[in-house]
Structures are given as structure tokens and as C-alpha cells.
């Protein structure tokens, strides 16, 4: 392994994030309490630079670096860019919340940037080892972030649960990887793919390996029946962290799934397809039904995430380029919706008060019509009502499923979306049909308002003109 | 026929742009928002008259076609066009919206700009639904329509509005998602989302039946047909007057339009073999719902049930076609059935809209919709009483009003199919007369019922404008329905030819009920 420009160029975005994290870590020591905002600015600049570098080194054909450990292709370009944008959204929304609680410390940004680095590594991994390294970097940073508010009992409890279950998931994943390594003699995805194509399902170790991989993926995505941590973490974690956990890491998890199942094990598609069908149907069903019973909106979003994960799996299990593109599209827009929805919760929170109950949204239209409209858009989109982008995502996924002659799956999915529509509508009901219970005005910074405007209108704009984003997703799987 | 000027786009986007402008004007200056909304509504109607004037009723081809790429990788197009079926409904939409804006003039006190904007945006979306020739565009607009209506009922509705609006949304959403799966399946088979390509697509019987059922779920909820009609009385009772008017006058028609545009031409063989189901549901709606209407205590609920019964006529007229062929061996009369259904839809748009406006007039003054709270209104509101009696008569199908024309045509067509269909359908003439006139008797005539009625003021200028214009329309189409029928005649004839052709693949051709003539020529321009 040599550190020459051919190897370093593709990983420039990762390097930029690492440098930013290091700078923030050291620089924070020299900052006075009132200057902590500099951390925020530095982190955003780092994300921006990484974003620009992704664009600069991106485009063109597939490039392998570091002896095949790292890959740069169109999919990694798009997903990296998306992960960086989503992280920037999370940082911008989080700032007022952190400031109000005197938590605007460097640690938050260091941990979050490390998580971003982990995501980028996952996205461009080309061996199981790199994948696992990225995953653990991401996961460990997230565990710490969830417990970031030291005085919060709920946060510590959630972090503990997250850590134990996350470690279990990682363990199962690693176990699966070791089996596949044993069966194929390689951890490099290309070599694994070749070996798998030769052996087929004759090798039972391989089949077991896939089962464990899928379980690991299920854990990381939060698919039923490996979903138990999701609602607890969403509820317990501080809202900005829940925002972060629910958006960008899903993009990385999608990349991990594609790298492992599609690039490494596509020859065994029929084997993992059946498993994904079960996960998808269970997730869509349980996620949508359980969400109805929630009164805590963060917990409700947790179940909502589970149901969206089911839709992402629907696209993946179709096993066609179209299906992968649809799943990628869905992942990106889901992450965008989730960031926006949690963003609204942060906006509604203030010093000494966290918006967590559904009732906290009451009369939002009276308090701030613009944020009310944005939240309504986000909810209609999550329910899959046109002309928002959520509908386009569902449409593409369903189309991919129908194309591989699994109409029944499409019917199951739309059936549960009807149930799902109810709890999203209930949020709109609280926003528009109820009177506010508090007269406290909603105070937000210009940056937050502008970001939320862009975030909300993007939901509408992408719904009306999905061609560009869809084109990017399709190009990634051509 | 490719037209140079994008007239349909203008009719769709003008009110939407107007709605956004009204929304932006805020609630600070109420009269500004109102006048802006009215200007946009009238302007849209005037522009939409261009459709009627420029329409060529000698051809069944799509006119005013616009075809622009929307999502190239999925082959979805922004594809608009109208024929004799959709064009009158578009003009009806733009016409009725004016009265909705006027009706909410100073009754709506809570956030009037949002209220008016919701109706204008909805107008654009509904026109789009009628004009869309791309199935995905149709579906997007069809669902998008729910959002403004959901908010209109939920924000400006009555005491039980939240229950009503969520029920409304979920019922409709339930029906339509299955339609989505059917549309995706058709796309998969036809290779494009063009509705006209769907029309020309050969489909096996099983696929046709499943597609037919999926469409039925969507359209039957929207129409609404018995037994999925239960959302309508709730939604009507709780909706503000304008919401009820739009619901009854336009939204229900979209269901009927769906049968003509999708169910009949895409799955004609399934329609032929399942027409008994629709006919049965329609007749139940006419008779059973007629009786249900009779016992209502709430005026809005009564009119809502009356709408369901009248829409039963529409679906009966549409699906009588196959029975006529079976019983007479020819398709003579089937054109009349479908045209009767269409006339009934347009006429019901005027009449039910007017009746809801009438209830609105009373409700604004007394704040009650209960029949028992009124009595002798004619003594204090002579003008209003005259209007209400007139609209009640037309609702009962009095000759000379538009309500008579459609019902008469459908009953005539039903006679060709089966005497008993006609007999059962004709009971509406008795039932509708009974429930509407009885309501009128209790509300309008008799002694002044209570002090509130004694204190009533007669209709003001705006209300006279609303009711007068609708009364003129009812009378005009009742006395001289020819223009309306002529506009749609060629299209309906072509539709009858289309549904007369067997669409089963050659392997299943033996199962064709009606022979297998040459494939229908594509109507794509």
C-alpha cells in the first residue's frame, strides 16, 4: 500500500473530514465559552470542502485505490454528497438547540464528524474489512452522541441500549463476514463475487454467511424483527442526535447493503431476496401499525422509519438495476424528509423545553404558518401523497417490484401505506385543526428558517421534477 | 390536433398561481384577498370558455393536446388533452368555483386568504385531473386533490370536522392506492403511462378483472357508490358550504369520469362480465339511499344522500351498455345511457351545488342545519324560498329543469336493457320528489316556526347572484340540452365502439362476449 496521488485522490473527501475533526478537537481547547460557535462554522466549512472535493474527484469511471480496499464510483459520489448535505442540515438545525442548553462544545462536532467519516468510508468500501471499519467508526460515534447530554437520564439509557444492540448487530455481521471469508477465501468484494458465482448455493457456509449478513443489515437499518432499538433510541436521544441518527447513516447503510449484497453476493440473489421479502413486509406492516399507537412524536418517527426501511428493502429485493436505483432514490428522500421532520421538532423546542409529544405540534399554523406548511408537506410526503417526492419514491419502488412479477408485494405495501397515512394525517390535524396550547412565540435564526425552507420546498420540487435526482440514481447502477 | 397555445396548461396553472398569490396576500387585507380570488376564478372561467368555443365536436380525438416530457427515464409525460367527456366537466369546474369564492365572501372569518387559496389551488388540480392523458399525471393530481380538501374540511368545518376529514381522506386514499398498483401494472404491460396506450392494450380476462376491481375501488369510493358511500354524509355535514359545493358538484364527478376514462375502455371485457355488480350497486343507491334520505333530520345530510342516489343514476347509465347489447343484440340506446349519465353529472353539479349554497344561506343566519329548527322561512325570505323550491323541484327531476334530462335519458336507455332496471330506476322520480319536497315543506312553508326564523333577512345581492346564475344554468340545460349533448356525442359514440370491441388476446378470444372486431384505431394525435 503506497501513499501516492493515485491512491489519495479518491479519498480526498474523507481526508478533509478527518482534518476538520482534528482541527475542531484541538481548536476547541483554545476557545472561550462565548466563541464556541466557531466549532460550528469550522464543521460546516469542513463539510462544504468535503462536498466540493467529492464533486472534484467524482465523475467518470470506477476507480479502485489502496489495493482494492477503497472504491470510487458514481454511486459513492452521489451517496457521499448526500451524506454530507444531510449532515450539514443536521448541524444547522442542531445549533440553536445546543446553544440554548450550553452544549455547543467541540465534542459534539468531533463525534459527529467522526460519524460522517465513518459513513464516507462505508460508502466507498470495497472490502468487508473497510466496510466494517467504517461501520464501527460510525456506530461508536453515534453511541457517544446519543449519550452526549450527560445530565439526561433518557439519553444515557438510550445510549446503553443502542450500544448493546448495536454491538450485537455488529457481531452478527462480523460472524457472517467471517463465514463468507471462509467460503470464498477473500474479503475483497470483486473476488468474493467471482468465487460465489463459481460455487453457487452448493456451499452451505456461504448461505449461512448471507443469513448473518442480512441480519446484520437488518440491525443497522432497523428492519423488523431487528428493530427494537429504533423507537427507544429515537425517543431517548436528544432531538438533534435523533435527527442525525435517522437521516445520513441510513444513506451509509444503504451503501453497505448494496456493496455487500449486490456487488459481493448478487449471484445468490434468490437466497437473500426471500429474506429481504420477509424483512420488508414485516417492517412495513409493524412500522405502520405500531406508529398509530404512539403519543411521543419522536417514537412515532422511529416506527415510521421502520416502515420506510421496508420500502427501501422492497426496491433492493427486486434485484434489478431499476430496483436498486429506486431504493437509492427512496433512501435519499427518506433521509431528507426525516431531517426536515426532526428539524421542525428542534425548532419547536426552546430552552428548558423539548417538543416530544404530538400535542406539542398543536396549532402550529397559528404560531407560524410557514413552518406549519413545511411540516405538512413533510408529512404528506412521508405518507406518499402526490405531488410530494414521497409519492415518487413509493411509485418507483412499487414499479420495480411489479416489474419482477411480485404484484402481491406491491399490494401489501400500498395496503399498509393506507394505515400509515393515518398517523401522518394526525400530525397535520394537530398542526392545522387544533388551537395552540402555548402562547410562547417560535424564535428561530435566519439560517434555520432558510434551511427549513429549502428542505421543505425540496420535498415539493423533487416531487414535481424528480428526473434529475432519479437520473443520478439510475446512472449509479448502469 | 396539436394546438399552438397551451390553453389547458393555462386553465390548470392560472388558478394555482392565483391561489399562491392570494395566500401571499395574507389575512391583513381581507377585501384584497377576496377580490384577487374572485378575479382569478372569473378569469379562469373566461379562459376555459375558450375550450368550449374552440372545441371541435365532430371528432373523438383528443384536442388541445400538450405533450411535454416530465420524467424521461420512466417515460412519464406532461400530457394533456380533452375530448367531449372531459371538456364539459372542466368548464363545470371553473364555473362552480366562482360561486364557491362568492359564497365564502364574508362568511369565512378565520384566515380567509388560506381558505380562498385552497379552493383556487383545488380548482387547478381538478381541471388537471380531467385534462390529464398520462396516467401518472392523472394519479398525482387525483391524490393531490385530497390535500386542499382535507384542510378545508378540517380547518373551516363543523364541530365533528376532524373525524369527518380523516375519514374522507382515508376512504379515498384506500381506494386510490389500489388504482396505483393497477396503473403500474398497465405501465409495465404497455410500456408507457399514456392512457390512450392503455386503451389499445390487449389484456387477458384475469388481468382485466383485477384491474377493473382496482379501478372500481378507487372510483366507487369517489362517486360514491353503495356500500362505500359512508364518508360522504359525514364530509358534507362537517364541510363549510364551499367545501360541500365542490365535493358534490365536482369531486363526485371525478369518480364518474374515471369510469368512462379508465374502467370501460381499459377493461371492457371485465366490465361486460361484471356489469351486474355495478348495476346492482347503482340500483341499491337509487332506492335504498333514497329511503335513507327520506328520514334525515339534517338538511346537508339529506342532500348528501340525495347526491348518492343521483350518482347511482350516473353509474347505471354508464354500465347499462352491456345489458343493452345482450338484450337487443345491438348497441342502439347505449350511447343514450352514457350521455344521460354525463348530462346527469353536469346537471347534478349545478343542482347539488345550488342546494348546498341554499343550506349555507340558512346556516349563516341561524347556525343550524336541522330541519326542525326551521319552518315558514318563505314568510321572512320570499326570494330565498322561491330559489329553494326551484332547486328542490329540479332535484326531484321536474321536466324543464336539467335534472329531468339526464334521468329521463338513463331511464329510456334502461328500458332497452331490462324493464325492471328501468322500473327500479324510475322509483327515484317518486323518492327524490318525496325527500326533497318534504324537506322543502318543513323548512320553507307553514307558519313561522320560531323567533329565529321570524328574524331572518332575505338573501343579499351576492347570494342572489350565486343562486340566480345556477338557476339560469339549470333552466337553460333543462330546456335546451342539445349543446351539451352535441359536444359529447361523437366522443361517446366512439367510446361505445371501444367498449364494444373485445380486448382479450387471441388465445382467449373464445370467451369474447361480443365478437372480436378490428382493433380500435388509436386516438393518439
* pLDDT tens-digit map of A258-274: 999 999 888 888 888 99
- Quick one: which of A466, A463, A307 has its CA closest to A391? A463
- pLDDT of A127 > 50? The answer is yes
Q: A423: nearest CA in chain B?
A: B166
pLDDT in tens, A12-45: 999 999 999 999 999 988 888 888 888 999 999 9
Say if B166 is an interface residue toward chain A (CB within 8 Å).
yes
pLDDT at A420: 86
CA-to-CA separations, B265 to B66, B186, B199, in angstroms, rounded:
22, 13, 6
Tell if the CB–CB gap between B136 and A395 is shorter than 8 Å.
Answer: yes
Say if B167 is an interface residue toward chain A (CB within 8 Å).
no
Q: Please, what's the b/e burial string for B7-30 (b: 16 or more CB within 10 A of its CB; e: otherwise)?
A: bbbbbbebbbebbebbbebeeeeb
| B65 to chain A, closest Cα gap in Å | 20
| DSSP class of A350 | B
Instruction: Find out whether B94 and B42 touch, Cβ atoms under 8 Å.
Output: no
Tell if the CB–CB gap between A422 and B144 is shorter than 8 Å.
Answer: no
pLDDT at B382: 87
Cis peptide before A387 (omega within 30 of 0): yes
Q: CA geometry: angle at B459 spanning B457 and B465, to 5°?
A: 165
Optimal mutation site among A377, A386, A420, A424, interface B, most CBs of chain B within 10 A: A386
Total length of chain A = 478
Which member of A417, A428, A470 has the closest CB to residue B71?
A470
Mean pLDDT of chain A: 91
| DSSP class of A125 | B
Tell if the CB–CB gap between B146 and A432 is shorter than 8 Å.
Answer: no
* Chain A, window 374-403: residues with a beta carbon less than 8 angstroms from a chain B beta carbon: 376, 380, 385-387, 391, 395-396, 398-399, 402-403
pLDDT in tens, A363-394: 888 888 899 999 999 999 999 888 899 999 99
Q: What are the chain B neighbours of A433 within 8 Å (beta carbons)?
A: 154-155, 161-162, 165
- Those residues with Cβ within 8 angstroms of residue A254's Cβ, 6 or more apart along the chain or in another chain: A79, A312, A327, A328, A331
pLDDT at B206: 87
Q: What is the pTM of this model?
A: 0.89
* Chain B, window 315-344: residues with a beta carbon less than 8 angstroms from a chain A beta carbon: none
Tell if the CB–CB gap between A418 and B177 is shorter than 8 Å.
Answer: yes
Q: How confident is the model at residue A472 (pLDDT cuts 50, 70, 90)?
A: very high
A296 three-state secondary structure:
strand
pLDDT in tens, A437-457: 887 888 888 999 999 999 999
| A442 to chain B, closest Cα gap in Å | 19
Q: A366: nearest CA in chain B?
A: B111
Say if B445 is an interface residue toward chain A (CB within 8 Å).
no
**Cα separation, B197 vs B523, whole angstroms:** 9
Q: A380: nearest CA in chain B?
A: B147
Q: How confident is the model at residue A309 (pLDDT cuts 50, 70, 90)?
A: very high
Q: What are the chain B neighbours of A470 within 8 Å (beta carbons)?
A: 71, 73-74
Which member of B73, B136, B184 has the closest CB to residue A471?
B73
DSSP H or E segment with residue B79: strand B76-82
- Quick one: which of A140, A141, A135 has its CA closest to A111? A141
Q: What are the chain B neighbours of A466 within 8 Å (beta carbons)?
A: 71
Say if A410 is an interface residue toward chain B (CB within 8 Å).
yes
pLDDT at B518: 40
Say if A421 is an interface residue toward chain B (CB within 8 Å).
yes
Q: What are the chain B neighbours of A395 within 8 Å (beta carbons)?
A: 136, 180, 184
Half-sphere exposure of B23 (CA within 13 A, CB side): 16
By mean pLDDT, which of A199-203, A219-223, A464-468 is the weakest? Answer: A199-203
pLDDT at B519: 42
Tell if the CB–CB gap between A414 and B143 is shorter than 8 Å.
Answer: no
Say if B78 is an interface residue toward chain A (CB within 8 Å).
no
Tell if the CB–CB gap between A414 and B140 is shorter than 8 Å.
Answer: no
Tell if the CB–CB gap between B139 and A386 is shorter than 8 Å.
Answer: yes
**Cα separation, B198 vs B186, whole angstroms:** 7
- Quick one: which of A24, A216, A245, A278 has its CA closest to A139? A245
Which member of B74, B162, B181 has the closest CB to residue A414?
B181
Instruction: Find out whether A210 and A271 touch, Cβ atoms under 8 Å.
Output: yes
Q: What are the chain B neighbours of A365 within 8 Å (beta carbons)?
A: 155
pLDDT means per 10 residues in chain B (525 residues)?
74 91 82 88 91 85 87 86 90 91 84 89 93 91 90 87 88 88 89 88 87 92 88 89 90 91 89 88 90 90 91 89 78 83 91 91 87 86 90 89 88 86 86 89 84 83 89 90 87 84 74 50 42
CA-to-CA separations, A14 to A113, A139, B213, in angstroms, rounded:
10, 17, 53
| DSSP class of B194 | B
Question: Please, which contacts does A22-27 make with residues 24 or more away whose CB atoms are closer than 8 Å?
Answer: A24/A106, A24/A109, A24/A110, A24/A113, A25/A106, A25/A110, A27/A106
Instruction: Find out whether B57 and B489 touch, Cβ atoms under 8 Å.
Output: yes
pLDDT at A1: 67
pLDDT at A331: 96
Say if B201 is an interface residue toward chain A (CB within 8 Å).
no
Cis peptide before B227 (omega within 30 of 0): yes
Cis peptide before A225 (omega within 30 of 0): yes
pLDDT at B512: 65
- Quick one: which of A205, A313, A198, A334 has its CA closest to A262? A313
Q: What are the chain A neighbours of B164 within 8 Å (beta carbons)?
A: none
Instruction: Find out whether A276 and A313 touch, Cβ atoms under 8 Å.
Output: yes
Amino acid at each position: 500500500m503506497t501513499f501516492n496521488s493515485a491512491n489519495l485522490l479518491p479519498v480526498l473527501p474523507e481526508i478533509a473530514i478527518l482534518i476538520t475533526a482534528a482541527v475542531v478537537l484541538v481548536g476547541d481547547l483554545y476557545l472561550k465559552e462565548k466563541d464556541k460557535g466557531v466549532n460550528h462554522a469550522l464543521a460546516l466549512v469542513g463539510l462544504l470542502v468535503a462536498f466540493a472535493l467529492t464533486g472534484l474527484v467524482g465523475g467518470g469511471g470506477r476507480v479502485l485505490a489502496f489495493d482494492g480496499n477503497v472504491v470510487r464510483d458514481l454511486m459513492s459520489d452521489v451517496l457521499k454528497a448526500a451524506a454530507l448535505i444531510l449532515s450539514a442540515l443536521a448541524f444547522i438545525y442542531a445549533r440553536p438547540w445546543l446553544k440554548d442548553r450550553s452544549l455547543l462544545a467541540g465534542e459534539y462536532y468531533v463525534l459527529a464528524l467522526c460519524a460522517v467519516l465513518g459513513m464516507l468510508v462505508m460508502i466507498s468500501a470495497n472490502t468487508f474489512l473497510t466496510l466494517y471499519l467504517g461501520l464501527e467508526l460510525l456506530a461508536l460515534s453515534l453511541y457517544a452522541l446519543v449519550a452526549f447530554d450527560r445530565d439526561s437520564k433518557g439519553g444515557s439509557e438510550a445510549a446503553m441500549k443502542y450500544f448493546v444492540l448495536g454491538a450485537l448487530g455488529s457481531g452478527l455481521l462480523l460472524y457472517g463476514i467471517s463465514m463468507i471469508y471462509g467460503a470464498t477465501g477473500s474479503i475483497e468484494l470483486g473476488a468474493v463475487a467471482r468465487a460465489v458465482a463459481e460455487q453457487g448455493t452448493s456451499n452451505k457456509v456461504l448461505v449461512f454467511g448471507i443469513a448473518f449478513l442480512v441480519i446484520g443489515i437488518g440491525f443497522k437499518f432497523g428492519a423488523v424483527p431487528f428493530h427494537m432499538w429504533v423507537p427507544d433510541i429515537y425517543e431517548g436521544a436528544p432531538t438533534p442526535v435523533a435527527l442525525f441518527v435517522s437521516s445520513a447513516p441510513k444513506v451509509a447503510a444503504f451503501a453497505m447493503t448494496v456493496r455487500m449484497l449486490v456487488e459481493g453476493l448478487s449471484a445468490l440473489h434468490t437466497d437473500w431476496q426471500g429474506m429481504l421479502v420477509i424483512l420488508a413486509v414485516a417492517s412495513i406492516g409493524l412500522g405502520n401499525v405500531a406508529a398509530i399507537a404512539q403519543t411521543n412524536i419522536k417514537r412515532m418517527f422511529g416506527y415510521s422509519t421502520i416502515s420506510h426501511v421496508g420500502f427501501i428493502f422492497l426496491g433492493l429485493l427486486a434485484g434489478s438495476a431499476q430496483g436498486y436505483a429506486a431504493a437509492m432514490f427512496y433512501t435519499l428522500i427518506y433521509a431528507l424528509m426525516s431531517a426536515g421532520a426532526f428539524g421542525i421538532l428542534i425548532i419547536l423546542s426552546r430552552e428548558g423545553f423539548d417538543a416530544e409529544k404530538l400535542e406539542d405540534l398543536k396549532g402550529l399554523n397559528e404560531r407560524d404558518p410557514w413552518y406549519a406548511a413545511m411540516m405538512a408537506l413533510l408529512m404528506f410526503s412521508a405518507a406518499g401523497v402526490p405531488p410530494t417526492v414521497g409519492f415518487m419514491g413509493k411509485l418507483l419502488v412499487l414499479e420495480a417490484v411489479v416489474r419482477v412479477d411480485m404484484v402481491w408485494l406491491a399490494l401489501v405495501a400500498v395496503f399498509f401505506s393506507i394505515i400509515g397515512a393515518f398517523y401522518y394525517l394526525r400530525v397535520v390535524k394537530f398542526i392545522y385543526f387544533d388551537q395552540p396550547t402555548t402562547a410562547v412565540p417560535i424564535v428561530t435564526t435566519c439560517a434555520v428558517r432558510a434551511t427549513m425552507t429549502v428542505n421543505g420546498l425540496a420535498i415539493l420540487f423533487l416531487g414535481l421534477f424528480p428526473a434529475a435526482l432519479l437520473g443520478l440514481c439510475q446512472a449509479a447502477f448502469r | 390536433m396539436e394546438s399552438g397555445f397551451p390553453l389547458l396548461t393555462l386553465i390548470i396553472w392560472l388558478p394555482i398561481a392565483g391561489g399562491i398569490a392570494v395566500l401571499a396576500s395574507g389575512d391583513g387585507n381581507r377585501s384584497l384577498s377576496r377580490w384577487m380570488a374572485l378575479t382569478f376564478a372569473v378569469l379562469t372561467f373566461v379562459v376555459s370558455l375558450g375550450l368550449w368555443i374552440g372545441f371541435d365536436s365532430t371528432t373523438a380525438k383528443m384536442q388541445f393536446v400538450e405533450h411535454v416530457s416530465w420524467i424521461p427515464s420512466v417515460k412519464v409525460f406532461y400530457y394533456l388533452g380533452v375530448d367531449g367527456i372531459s371538456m364539459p366537466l372542466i368548464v363545470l369546474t371553473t364555473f362552480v368555483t366562482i360561486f364557491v369564492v362568492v359564497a365564502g365572501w364574508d362568511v369565512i372569518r378565520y384566515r380567509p386568504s388560506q381558505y380562498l387559496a385552497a379552493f383556487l389551488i383545488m380548482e387547478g388540480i381538478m381541471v388537471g385531473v380531467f385534462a390529464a392523458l398520462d396516467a401518472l399525471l392523472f394519479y398525482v393530481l387525483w391524490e393531490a386533490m385530497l390535500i386542499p380538501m382535507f384542510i378545508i374540511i378540517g380547518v373551516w368545518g363543523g364541530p365533528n370536522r376532524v373525524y369527518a376529514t380523516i375519514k374522507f381522506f382515508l376512504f379515498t386514499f384506500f381506494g386510490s392506492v389500489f388504482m396505483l398498483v393497477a396503473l403500474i401494472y398497465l405501465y409495465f404491460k404497455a410500456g408507457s403511462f399514456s392512457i390512450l396506450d392503455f386503451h389499445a392494450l390487449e389484456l387477458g380476462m384475469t388481468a382485466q378483472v383485477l384491474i377493473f376491481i382496482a379501478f372500481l375501488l378507487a372510483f366507487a369510493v369517489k362517486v360514491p357508490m353503495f356500500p362505500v358511500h359512508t364518508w360522504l354524509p359525514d364530509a358534507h355535514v362537517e364541510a363549510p358550504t364551499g367545501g360541500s359545493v365542490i365535493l358534490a358538484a365536482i369531486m363526485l364527478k371525478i369518480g364518474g369520469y374515471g369510469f368512462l376514462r379508465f374502467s370501460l375502455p381499459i377493461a371492457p371485457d371485465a366490465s361486460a362480465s361484471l356489469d351486474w355488480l355495478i348495476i346492482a350497486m347503482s340500483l341499491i343507491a337509487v332506492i335504498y339511499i333514497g329511503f335513507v334520505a327520506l328520514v334525515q333530520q339534517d338538511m346537508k345530510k339529506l342532500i348528501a344522500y340525495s347526491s348518492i342516489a343521483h350518482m347511482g343514476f350516473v353509474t347505471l347509465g354508464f354500465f347499462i351498455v352491456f345489458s343493452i347489447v345482450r338484450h337487443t343484440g345491438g348497441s342502439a340506446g347505449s350511447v343514450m345511457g352514457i350521455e344521460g349519465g354525463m348530462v346527469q353529472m353536469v346537471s347534478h353539479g349545478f343542482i347539488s351545488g345550488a342546494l348546498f349554497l341554499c343550506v349555507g344561506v340558512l346556516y349563516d343566519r341561524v347556525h343550524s342545519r336541522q330541519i326542525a329548527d326551521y319552518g315558514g322561512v318563505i314568510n321572512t325570505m320570499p326570494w330565498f324560498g322561491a330559489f329553494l323550491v326551484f332547486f328542490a323541484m329540479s332535484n326531484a327531476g321536474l321536466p324543464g329543469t336539467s335534472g329531468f334530462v339526464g334521468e329521463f335519458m338513463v331511464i329510456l336507455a334502461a328500458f332497452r336493457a331490462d324493464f325492471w332496471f328501468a322500473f327500479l330506476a324510475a322509483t327515484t322520480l317518486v323518492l327524490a320528489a318525496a325527500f326533497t319536497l318534504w324537506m322543502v315543506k318543513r323548512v320553507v312553508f307553514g307558519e313561522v316556526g320560531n323567533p329565529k326564523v321570524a328574524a331572518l333577512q332575505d338573501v343579499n345581492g351576492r347570494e342572489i347572484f350565486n343562486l340566480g346564475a345556477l338557476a339560469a344554468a339549470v333552466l337553460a340545460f333543462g330546456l335546451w340540452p342539445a349543446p351539451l349533448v352535441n359536444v359529447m356525442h361523437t366522443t361517446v359514440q366512439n367510446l361505445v365502439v371501444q367498449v364494444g370491441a373485445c380486448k382479450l388476446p387471441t388465445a382467449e378470444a373464445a370467451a369474447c362476449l361480443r365478437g372480436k372486431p378490428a382493433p380500435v384505431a388509436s386516438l393518439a394525435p
